[in-house]
Structure 1
């Protein structure tokens, strides 16, 4: 004679009753931040491993970015008839800030799946690997600062006190990098196709964002400034670049650019906390 078991009488797993709370998600973020020595080390090791046995090491980051930015600046400056003294700093800054955004999205989407052994063997908060991605992106950005200095020495822009606005812009970049890594990193661990989709999407968005072209060159080519500019403004990456690139070029940055970025940051963190609450404990099982 078989016994009938009531599903409601079966005790819930600890994961569903205790782990899936916002308090545990916040604690994970705090504990991960407190483990900064660990993610400092892991971030540096990622850079060293990437350029192991090379003569110039991490300076290849700077060289590759400088060559690409210079080549694109000269080529598209000639095609669009732009003043190279203005256009080359514009393109260079666009590439450097875009690299930060791109690495946050692509590296963040695969940080868990690429570190299966470390995640299963090392008892550490999930957020350690999130901060690791942000730290690594900052290291790469720091290497590229040398390019900005050189370009500004050759083609000095009209920089004023507004240049200090790049500091809060970078803070927003880091905050967005955290939630992007949480959302795409965890979801890509469960659904591996997301990483491939992101790679394709990032490449497409690159050409849709004013990096190797400007909104002024677009209006000069079409003669439809207002309608074309509205289409460009639908791209959030345009606003992310404007808040960081504009101050360093001595250009006034309209408040709506900051408003869009702040709105995206708030929405992203809400989404990130939801993902952390629901799926943080499952990462070790999905990798």
Structure 2
């Protein structure tokens, strides 16, 4: 049996693992995506940091005045909100084109499709690494003192990656088959940005509007932001995200097992 034939008949788990373990391929592709995007630029990827810092620096004093909140409290809240939301949004929207943007590879030979979702995730992780450094001067200026609770950031971030991989496979499959879904996802993410406490404080909500915080993006944002601000996220956020992760993984497993071989015919 030829290698291509055996690969096409590999189990869904084997197909996913084959793409996951090839870090040498998808990480290199992601790195060159960033390099090519900023080719011939003097500052290169540092423009990511500068543009994000300029936006946070401009919005912080303005929104603090609008909401009547002390700047030293609101500024780190806003900075982390914008940084993490940019990470969430780009991770979701770019996963819609994970297979479409890699059609030249998929049409020329066998590649595990999970590899191209990892490529999209790695590209966004590189961008996130350029953005998160902005938090350091903001935290120093605001006088944030971290405790052992800051270590909760790491399991929360691991949950983000698990959900990003599962949702990336789902959206990659669906958007490759139905191209209009990409526009729907983009519009939904724009709407959710205002329904998630990125620019506003959760305690400013009236009691009857607290259901907005059931939004999984709001729960995930709090899991990541609270430890970096010296606090601890409530337990219901952990249970909410764990439930969402379970649903996400089940949906991903079903769609991936059934439709992964059809991607190349949809391109």
- 2:25 aligned to which of 15, 25, 38: 38
**What corresponds to 2:195 in structure 1?**
208
Q: For 1:241 and 1:50, locate their aligned partners in 2 and report how far apart those are by CA, in whole Å.
A: 28
Q: TM (normalized to structure 1)?
A: 0.87
Shift of 1:114: 1.6
Shift of 1:192: 0.2
1:239 aligns with 2:219: yes
1:177 aligns with 2:153: no
Q: For 2:62 and 2:106, locate their aligned partners in 1 and report how far apart those are by CA, in whole Å.
A: 45
> Aligned Cα RMSD in Å?
1.5
Aligned length: 261
Q: For 1:115 and 1:135, locate their aligned partners in 2 and report how far apart those are by CA, in whole Å.
A: 14
Q: For 1:216 and 1:35, locate their aligned partners in 2 and report how far apart those are by CA, in whole Å.
A: 44
CA distances 1:197-249 after superposition (whole Å, capped 9, x unpaired): 0111000000111000112233xxxxxx32122x2223111101010000111
Unaligned runs of 5+ in 1: 1-14, 219-224
1:153 aligns with 2:140: yes
* Residues 97-176 of structure 1: pairs in structure 2 closer than 5 A: 97-176=84-163
**What corresponds to 1:285 in structure 2?**
265
Q: For 1:50 and 1:275, locate their aligned partners in 2 and report how far apart those are by CA, in whole Å.
A: 32
Q: After TM superposition, which residue ranges in structure 1, 4 or more long, deviate above 6 angstroms? A: none
1:80 aligns with 2:67: yes
**SS in structure 1 opposite 2:197?**
coil
Larger mean CA deviation between 116-125 and 272-281 belongs to 116-125
Shift of 1:122: 4.1
Q: For 1:265 and 1:237, locate their aligned partners in 2 and report how far apart those are by CA, in whole Å.
A: 12
- 2:51 aligned to which of 51, 64, 84: 64
* Residues 230-269 of structure 1: pairs in structure 2 closer than 5 A: 231-269=211-249
Task: Kindly indicate whether the alpha-carbon contact (under 8 Å) linking 1:72 and 1:212 is maintained by their aligned counterparts in 2.
Answer: no
Q: For 1:122 and 1:137, locate their aligned partners in 2 and report how far apart those are by CA, in whole Å.
A: 26
**What corresponds to 1:188 in structure 2?**
175
1:197 aligns with 2:178: no
Task: Kindly indicate whether the alpha-carbon contact (under 8 Å) linking 1:176 and 1:268 is maintained by their aligned counterparts in 2.
Answer: yes
**SS in structure 2 opposite 1:110?**
coil
**SS in structure 2 opposite 1:250?**
coil
Larger mean CA deviation between 153-162 and 261-270 belongs to 153-162
**SS in structure 2 opposite 1:158?**
coil
1:228 aligns with 2:209: yes
**SS in structure 1 opposite 2:39?**
coil
